[in-house]
A and B are shown apart, each in its own frame.
Chain A
């Protein structure tokens, strides 16, 4: 009965999640954020998201055509296009979003090889380039609960964001509850902390992201904010203001966990989270822009393979600890143990010159070896007789065995 062998490329471990389902989960998680933005700023917030997504998708197709690649309609440019407007105010002009999306797709993704090959987070780079180009537009936040014009320039009432207040060392004008519910001005996707956190937990439950990176980022960051507060008052207030202002929570769940640029190993993710917390803290405290999360993330993207390499080295040492320890032990008195056997004969050898004994010793050694050989050959000869009976039709038995 012939058995069919199936050949398939790796991976051979199958699970219900795939890249498509992961991307779809992220898009689903972003929808409530856009819903809240619509509630606070009107239809313009949603239109910015749609514009960003369509722009990124079209530019991605154009990039594939220019590089003569097979057209691949994946969801990653749509996610990039949805995230970029959420990092910006609702009053942002459409050309700024277009510019950020163009940088994200045409500069960050395609020159490096397209989807899965980018070395930097596209949304972070797109946002950072727009922030440097148009800082006035990117960091002017409209007050909440006003419906902005859907297209064209807006006549919104501008308010000071809590992140800007913190950068000046002043206590923000909004209380912690306002910031939790999104009533404080800021990036349109990052202000409603409750909704963003809930969406992040949804992604963790759906296994679209790993819980380690956001956890290992938020906890050390919170600790640093408590130890080095920028404002007076209770440490709890300082902690809440630092965590809930800017894009810290949003970035922890939606940007830091980007699968292409983040480390692959769990221990690497932990290291990346902790390091990101320190770098983001430094950029926010000492940087020129009121929120340095995007810039810090770009720097951390450079180091993410290093974290994986550290993790591999640690795992290698852990898995082979027995062999490593044994190699250390072999170098010490373990080498003298085999010498103990001839050591019994050493006293006899010491009486006679070593050079002479070496030749003399070989002679008596050979005699018992020959005897041993004879006895050993006698035993298998019995076996060979049986084999010969079984294999009479095969090759002739060797002459050496017969003589023995």
Chain B
């Protein structure tokens, strides 16, 4: 029961309070792409959830070797990218042999779902905060769901902006960034005055 509560609390923290986009600004380029392709949001969020869970499970025992190293800022990301590469290959071949009809979709989208700032960022944050396995898994799943949540919120907001009289120089990237900043401001009411690590 304790583990379930710990998992849920870490998942909700990552989903709302420390939302990967609003508080740490990770995965924004991929988010802008998904907003233009809304039918992909659910699929990509699901894929990201699977990838972060598997990457977290694989990277958790490995990071102990690097924690106390002088060059951990260099070695940890390299280690995690290598772990993500293993996860990518495992998932790709699993899909190829077990779900061959999905191979085309995965060959186009798996790379971005694995190698992106949100996935690597969540692994690095978890290692910096020295979370245990349960919290790591909860954080990874919450981060993925939070990514989807933020994408939907921002996508909805940008759809509304199309009906506003946005000045010409602010149309497109500028107003999207300002809108994202103002949304982040709201979530900082929960987090408080903290700089992301």
> Is there direct touching of A and B in the complex, by C-beta distance under 8 Å?
yes
A108 and B190 form a contact (CB under 8 A): no
Known: A125-B182, A125-B185, A129-B185. A112 touches B164 (CB 8 A): yes
Q: Which residues of A contact B188 (CB under 8 A)?
A: 128, 132, 295
B157 and A132 form a contact (CB under 8 A): no
A67: Cβ under 8 A from any B Cβ: yes
Report which A residues bind B (CB closer than 8 A).
67, 107-108, 110-114, 117, 119-120, 125, 128-129, 132, 135, 283, 286-289, 292, 294-296, 298-299, 302, 305-306
B192 and A289 form a contact (CB under 8 A): yes
B182 and A298 form a contact (CB under 8 A): yes
Query: Which of B160, B164, B165, B186 counts the most A-chain CB atoms under 10 A from its CB?
Result: B186
Known: A107-B182, A128-B185, A288-B191. A305 touches B167 (CB 8 A): no
Q: Which residues of A contact B33 (CB under 8 A)?
A: none
Indicate with 1 or 0, residue by residue over B116-134, a CB within 8 angstroms of chain A CB atoms: 0000000000000000000
B193 and A135 form a contact (CB under 8 A): yes
Query: Which of B153, B179, B190, B191 counts the most A-chain CB atoms under 10 A from its CB?
Result: B190
Which stretch, B60-68, B84-92, B170-178, touches the partner chain A? Answer: B170-178
Q: Which residues of B contact A119 (CB under 8 A)?
A: 157, 160-161, 164, 179, 182
B166: Cβ under 8 A from any A Cβ: yes
Q: Which residues of B contact A128 (CB under 8 A)?
A: 185-186, 188-189
Q: Which residues of A contact B170 (CB under 8 A)?
A: 111-112
B186 and A298 form a contact (CB under 8 A): yes
Q: In whole angstroms, how far apart are the Cα atoms of A377 and B193 in the complex?
A: 90
B192 and A288 form a contact (CB under 8 A): yes
13 example contacts (A-B, Cβ-Cβ < 8 A) are as follows A67-B167, A111-B175, A113-B167, A125-B182, A128-B185, A132-B185, A132-B188, A287-B192, A295-B185, A295-B187, A298-B185, A302-B157, A305-B160
Q: In whole angstroms, how far apart are the Cα atoms of A128 and B187 in the complex?
A: 10
Q: Which residues of A contact B191 (CB under 8 A)?
A: 288
CB distance from A167 to the nearest CB of B (A): 12
B156: Cβ under 8 A from any A Cβ: yes
What is the interface of chain B mostly: helix, strand, loop, or mixed?
A: helix
Q: In whole angstroms, how far apart are the Cα atoms of A305 and B162 in the complex?
A: 14
7 additional contacts (CB under 8 A) given A111-B175, A132-B188, A287-B190 = A119-B182, A125-B185, A292-B190, A298-B182, A299-B186, A302-B156, A305-B160
B166 and A286 form a contact (CB under 8 A): no
B186 and A112 form a contact (CB under 8 A): no
A296 and B182 form a contact (CB under 8 A): no
Q: In whole angstroms, how far apart are the Cα atoms of A264 and B182 in the complex?
A: 23
A296 and B189 form a contact (CB under 8 A): yes
CB distance from A401 to the nearest CB of B (A): 58
Q: Which residues of B contact A295 (CB under 8 A)?
A: 185-190
Query: Contact partner of A283 among B156, B183, B190, CB < 8 A?
Result: B190
B189 and A294 form a contact (CB under 8 A): yes
8 closest pairs, A vs B, by CB? A295-B189, A288-B192, A113-B165, A298-B186, A117-B164, A299-B186, A113-B164, A111-B170
Query: Contact partner of A112 among B175, B185, B193, CB < 8 A?
Result: B175
Q: Which residues of B contact A129 (CB under 8 A)?
A: 185
Q: In whole angstroms, how far apart are the Cα atoms of A129 and B193 in the complex?
A: 11
Q: Which residues of B contact A117 (CB under 8 A)?
A: 164-166
Q: In whole angstroms, how far apart are the Cα atoms of A54 and B185 in the complex?
A: 25
Q: Which residues of A contact B192 (CB under 8 A)?
A: 287-289
State which residues 140-174 of B face A: CB under 8 Å: 153, 156-157, 160-161, 164-167, 170, 174
A287 and B189 form a contact (CB under 8 A): yes
Q: In whole angstroms, how far apart are the Cα atoms of A305 and B164 in the complex?
A: 13
Query: Which of B153, B161, B167, B175 counts the most A-chain CB atoms under 10 A from its CB?
Result: B167
B193 and A132 form a contact (CB under 8 A): yes
Q: In whole angstroms, how far apart are the Cα atoms of A305 and B163 in the complex?
A: 12
Q: Which residue on A lies nearest to B177, using beta carbons?
A: A111
Q: Which residues of A contact B185 (CB under 8 A)?
A: 125, 128-129, 132, 295, 298
CB distance from B64 to the nearest CB of A (A): 32
A112 and B157 form a contact (CB under 8 A): no
Q: In whole angstroms, how far apart are the Cα atoms of A83 and B170 in the complex?
A: 27
B166 and A113 form a contact (CB under 8 A): yes
CB distance from A96 to the nearest CB of B (A): 15
